[in-house]
Amino acid sequence: MTPRVVLVVEDGTEYVDAFRRLAAEGSEVELLHAPDAASARQILSGRRVDAIFLDVVFDRTPPEKLAGDRARGNDYLAQNQGFYVLADLAPLIASGVRVLLAHDFASHPARLAALQERVQGLEGVAESAGINQVMGRLLSRV
Amino acid sequence: MILASLFCALLAAAPPDEAPVSGDCSADPAALVAEAAALLAASGPEPSAEALSAARRLIRSARRADASPDLALEAADLAFAAGDPEEGGDLLAAAADAGPARLSPAELLLLGRRAVERRRWREAIARYRELAKSLAAREQAADWIPRRVRELELEEEAEAIAVPSSGPSVEARLALADGKRALAAGRLREAREGLRTALQLEPSYVEALLALAALEARAGRSGAALKACREALAIEPERVETLTLLANLLWAEPDRVAKEESLVMLDRAVLLRPDLRSLLRLSANRWAEYGDASKAQERLDRYLTRATAKERDDTAALREALLRRTKAPETSPTPAAPPFDEPASAAIDLWRKAQVYAARGDAASLAAALALLDEAERLDPAFAQAPALAAAIHERRSEWKDAEEALHRAVRADPTRSTTYETLARVLERDPARAGEAAAAWIQAEQAGSTEALFHLASSAERAGRDADALGLYRRYRDEAPAGLNAADADAAIQRLDRRRSIGVLIVALAFGLLLCGVAVALYRAKTGLTFEEWLSENPGRAPEARRIVGRLRHEALKHGGLLLADGADRIETGEAATRQATAELLVARLYGGEGSRGLVAEAEDALTALSALARADGARLNLRHLDPVFSSLLRGVRGLRRARRSLGRVARSGSSQPIHARLAARLLRSAAQSFQLASGAEIERSVDRALALPVRLDALRALLARIAVESDRTVPTLETTGEDLPTVRICASDWETLWRNLFGNALSAGRLALSAAKRRDAVTGEARLTIVLADDIPRALTADEVRARTPDRGLGVVVEILRRNEGTIDVIAAPAAGFTKGIRIELPIVESA
């Protein structure tokens, strides 16, 4: 059976480490890591990805590597980088790819709906979600 | 002399009843004697009773008329001849007192024996010594006499020793206890009654006498105190407590003779208790004060042989003073012991003689004393003084085991004697391993009425740290023995303990006060301060900054933490050893930091600290822990993670070796996860949004424009507005007004303005935003880059800065309608969550 390929986009390695050590045991899953939008775009351009996990805050990423309009300011871009990465990758995301954004949309369902218009498989991650639950959703098919 | 021929008649004849004599009324003594001699001569070798009686009458009459020695001697012969040895002896003694040379050896021997029979030891010794001289003058053998004299001297010394008490009765002891209690309480009258009662019941009750002496000393009746003390010393001559008390009482007397006696008493006490070095020092001081530098120096030297450095320092002044003094003439007063004429039992006689031998102190005398005491114990096993004295001798000879056995025998014989227990305690104290037995002996001594035991118990209590007990015992000692052996030390100890207790009380009071203050401060801090939302509602200008901090907190604690904790806890508790260890390692690195990471806990705490600091800058105190409904849970979760660090670390290091740590870590992690869930990030966000929520009212903007124009003394431009039901934007009111003041201020030169607003969603973030366009007809061109490059101190620069801070944007657009030259478009986030 072909393993599911999950791309984790985050400025550190916390999520990918946690997935690898706490949730991926015994699963047919291949974890890929991209630290910024450009790297993620490169991975997506080169190979099949079944699911994408996007962190939102990229405050450890060098400002020159942040995606988005500089007019918004680096701080704003770093705090919301996940959305910009999502926008950057949207054209490359095939249908059927599950995309989880590490943001709780419970108070902003309209915002999630607006984003889903661009990326159909997009979902938010509730703050109460555990790592196994997140991994389960990443491995499930859209 | 006819005496020799009449010796037989003297010794054989029974004293006949006296009969009247016809011629006894003569006034001439010589004639009367001659008449008596004639009467006896006429009666032949065996005179009749009538003749003897008549002769005695004549002799007595003659003696009454003439007391000359010659007549006495002659009359003595006739008295013996008349069958009156008593009369004869008295007459011989009278003649001897006038001149012993007149008496023959036989007469001297007779007088000596008569004195022995009457236990008149001194007289007997004198007679035997006269006999020795008389025999020597006649060149007759007298070598047996010195031995006899020594025996008589021993008898005399022994006679001087008082009959010991056989132990007080229960009633006497109770009365003494009452008296002591009253004395300790300062009720002197009642104390005196109790002690008198005890002494009436037991006149030789040493403890009662000592207590009475203490009472009288306190009452200022030194004479009565001395009397009681002397009585006590006569009963028990080797009691150091008595000696020192008497020494102190005498020292307080004004006359020099009393002081001399005091010094002798003190020296006796030193001899008896060489281990009490304080006595030596006291003796040295007093001899110095008395003016005998050499004796003082000698005692001081003995004291210093085993002195500590501090003791040497303390006595340095005395030493120097003594060295400066010239040697004073030595005095050695020796007060005579009071006579005591009480008959004694055989055991007591032996004990008395043993006392004399013991006092001599040489090895042979001590051995003789012990032999006598053995015999005394055999004769009277209940006579406790015999084994007690034997113990003292064994002690002096360093025969500790024998001393202890003798003391136990003394206790068995008389369990009421406090001195026996005291001595036993001191003997036992020599062996540190028997400290418990020694302590028990001191307690028994105290129960038997020993005041010295009180001091020892007090010292022990102080050494054991029982200051309250020690203070009580020292006070009792001082009350019961104000001039006692250790009175000065007791006073010093009381002062020391009082001071320590005062300091202790002060410290406790201070600590209690500090504790109360601490509790009050803690309560005050727990009950006062602001919640996060209260602070923001009072200071909405801080909301944008707080929003960034809170965003960081949510990201770290609530999102990352929440993601890891619950599942991590499950794996640590139920996973295999390797899984458990790997999970713990990951959590330790993530929660508490590792290479290049400060850790979730530190990040969260930094964020909370930053929030508090921000509030403090506004003069507000955040009370997130106790009052804030959201942050209190978050803080609880962070504290839980801190507590989990040790057990989690152990699991990370050892894997499965100690499952208890894994269980504890899992429990704490789950608890933290629950706390983080309660600390809803969405609710925190809503708090910020509520503080910043500002409804947009176009009419208010129109009014603001008019006001700015009036303030600037300019004509109000025409303002066309479009748009209704405008949403609430996320900006504080002051920022909002400043923003529009600068926008309008920049556009006052326009003749026509148009304001339009519309909602839209950001294509990238999906965020709802309000777009407002302010169009003007000012001909001057403006680009977005120009606007963004303005310094943030005035005009559009201020607008740019306000919008940046509130996550807004600014742009310059082309004229939105005819008649306008350009438009400035600003955009702000719309509040959806609030």
In DSSP notation, B664-726 reads HHHHHHHHHHHHHHHS-HHHHHHHHHHHHEEE--HHHHHHHHHHHHHHTT-PPPEEEEE--S-
For residue A57, give the CATH number of its domain.
3.40.50.2300
Task: Tell which of B555, B559, B583 to mutate to test the A interface (max A CBs under 10 Å).
Answer: B559
For residue B804, give the CATH number of its domain.
3.30.565.10
Q: Give B608-634 pLDDT, tens digit per residue.
A: 999 999 999 989 999 988 988 888 888
When CB atoms are compared, the residue of A21, A87, A111 closest to B583 is A21
Would the pLDDT of B11 be above 70?
Answer: no
Q: Is B769 on the interface with A (CB under 8 A)?
A: no
A57·B767 Cβ contact <8 A: no
Q: What is the pLDDT of residue A1?
A: 66
Q: Is residue B151 part of a domain?
A: yes
Q: Is residue B12 part of a domain?
A: yes
Which residue is closest to B784 within chain A, CA to CA?
A71
Measure A134 CA to nearest chain B CA, in Å: 8
Q: Is B330 on the interface with A (CB under 8 A)?
A: no
Q: Give B528-583 pLDDT, tens digit per residue.
A: 999 988 898 888 888 888 888 888 887 776 677 777 888 888 888 888 888 888 88
Name every residue whose Cβ is closer than 8 Å to that of residue B42 and which is 6 or more positions away in sequence: B51
3-class DSSP assignment, residue B760: strand
Measure B756 CA to nearest chain A CA, in Å: 22
A130·B562 Cβ contact <8 A: yes
Q: Is residue B86 part of a domain?
A: yes
Q: What is the pLDDT of residue B676?
A: 82
For residue B64, give the CATH number of its domain.
1.25.40.10
* Residue A26 with chain B: CB contacts under 8 Å: none
Q: Of all helices (H) and strands (E), which one includes residue B617? A: helix B600-617
Q: What is the pLDDT of residue B13?
A: 39
Q: What is the pLDDT of residue B658?
A: 65
Q: Are A124 and A118 in contact (CB under 8 A)?
A: no
* Residue B545 with chain A: CB contacts under 8 Å: none
Q: B278 versus B828: which is more confidently predicted?
A: B828
Q: Which of B160, B182, B204 lies at the terminal end of a domain, its last residue? A: B160
Burial of B285 (0-12, 13-18, 19+ CB in 10 A): middle
When CB atoms are compared, the residue of B565, B682, B768 closest to A106 is B682
Q: Are B806 and B734 in contact (CB under 8 A)?
A: no
What is the domain count for chain B? 3
A vs B, Cβ pairs < 8 A, gives 99
Q: Do B752 and B655 share a domain, yes or no?
A: no
Tell me what ipTM this predicted complex has.
0.91
Q: Do B90 and B141 share a domain, yes or no?
A: yes
When CB atoms are compared, the residue of A22, A25, A107 closest to B586 is A22
| Residue percentage of chain B with pLDDT more than 70 | 92
Q: Which B residues in the span 592-621 are in contact with A, Cβ-Cβ below 8 Å?
A: 597
A80·B765 Cβ contact <8 A: yes
Q: Give B433-477 pLDDT, tens digit per residue.
A: 998 899 999 998 888 777 788 888 999 899 888 988 999 899 888
When CB atoms are compared, the residue of B586, B686, B765 closest to A21 is B586
Q: What is the pLDDT of residue B781?
A: 82
Burial of A5 (0-12, 13-18, 19+ CB in 10 A): middle
Q: Do B682 and B737 share a domain, yes or no?
A: no
Q: Are A104 and B681 in contact (CB under 8 A)?
A: yes
Q: Do B751 and B644 share a domain, yes or no?
A: no
Q: Do B658 and B734 share a domain, yes or no?
A: no
Would the pLDDT of B344 be above 60?
Answer: no
Q: B715 versus A138: which is more confidently predicted?
A: A138
When CB atoms are compared, the residue of A14, A22, A114 closest to B571 is A22
What is the domain count for chain A? 1
Q: Are A115 and A90 in contact (CB under 8 A)?
A: no
Q: B23 versus B84: which is more confidently predicted?
A: B84
C-alpha separations of B702 from A68, B619, B626, B796, B818 in Å = 35, 35, 45, 19, 21
Measure B678 CA to nearest chain A CA, in Å: 9
Q: Give B189-241 pLDDT, tens digit per residue.
A: 888 898 999 998 888 888 889 889 888 888 878 888 899 999 888 888 888 88
Report chain A residues touching chain B, CB-CB < 8 A.
12, 14-15, 17-18, 21-23, 25, 56-57, 59, 68, 71-73, 75-76, 79-80, 83-84, 86-87, 102, 104, 106-108, 110-112, 114-115, 118, 125, 127-132, 134
* Residue B579 with chain A: CB contacts under 8 Å: 25
* Residue B685 with chain A: CB contacts under 8 Å: 107
Q: What is the pLDDT of residue B23?
A: 43
Mean pLDDT lowest among B57-66, B329-338, B486-495, B522-531? B329-338
When CB atoms are compared, the residue of A17, A115, A130 closest to B567 is A130
Instruction: Tell me how crowded residue B1 is: count the other CB atoms within 10 A of its CB.
Output: 12
Q: What is the pLDDT of residue B19?
A: 38
Residue B563 belongs to what domain range?
554-616+636-688
Residue A45 belongs to what domain range?
4-139
Please give the average per-residue pLDDT across B583-599, as a whole number.
Answer: 85
Q: Do B582 and B728 share a domain, yes or no?
A: no
Short-list B443, B439, B446, B445, CA closest to B476: B446
Q: Do B679 and B821 share a domain, yes or no?
A: no
**Band of residue B338 on the pLDDT scale cut at 50, 70, 90:** very low
Kindly report whether the global pTM for this prediction surpasses the value 0.80.
Answer: no
Q: Do B606 and B744 share a domain, yes or no?
A: no
Task: Tell which of B572, B762, B765, B805 to mutate to test the A interface (max A CBs under 10 Å).
Answer: B765
Q: Give the span between the Cα atoms of B429 and B407, in whole angstroms.
A: 14
A83·B765 Cβ contact <8 A: yes
Q: Do B761 and B677 share a domain, yes or no?
A: no
Measure A130 CA to nearest chain B CA, in Å: 4
A76·B764 Cβ contact <8 A: no
**Band of residue A73 on the pLDDT scale cut at 50, 70, 90:** confident
**Band of residue A98 on the pLDDT scale cut at 50, 70, 90:** very high
Q: What is the pLDDT of residue A54?
A: 95
Q: Is B766 on the interface with A (CB under 8 A)?
A: yes
Strand pairing class (A51-54; A98-101): parallel
As given in the structure block, the two tokens for residue A44 are 């997506």
Q: Do B642 and B711 share a domain, yes or no?
A: no
* Residue B561 with chain A: CB contacts under 8 Å: none
Q: Is residue B649 part of a domain?
A: yes
DSSP alpha helix (H) spans, chain A? 14-18, 37-46, 74-79, 81-89, 109-116, 131-139
Q: Is B637 on the interface with A (CB under 8 A)?
A: no
Return mean pLDDT, chain B: 83
Q: Which B residues in the span 533-552 are in contact with A, Cβ-Cβ below 8 Å?
A: 548, 551-552
**Band of residue A97 on the pLDDT scale cut at 50, 70, 90:** very high
Q: Give B133-146 pLDDT, tens digit per residue.
A: 888 888 888 888 99
Q: Is residue B807 part of a domain?
A: yes
B832·A108 Cβ contact <8 A: yes
Q: Give the span between the Cα atoms of B49 and B266, in whole angstroms.
A: 63
Short-list B253, B329, B261, CA closest to B295: B329
Q: Do B8 and B154 share a domain, yes or no?
A: yes
**Band of residue B481 on the pLDDT scale cut at 50, 70, 90:** confident
When CB atoms are compared, the residue of A72, A125, A131 closest to B809 is A72
As given in the structure block, the two tokens for residue B825 are 């478009």
Q: What is the pLDDT of residue B337?
A: 42
Q: What is the pLDDT of residue B374?
A: 93
Q: Do B16 and B60 share a domain, yes or no?
A: yes
Would the pLDDT of B333 be above 60?
Answer: no
* Residue A110 with chain B: CB contacts under 8 Å: 761, 768, 832
A127·B765 Cβ contact <8 A: no
Q: Is B833 on the interface with A (CB under 8 A)?
A: yes
Please give the average per-residue pLDDT across B173-178, as a whole number.
Answer: 86
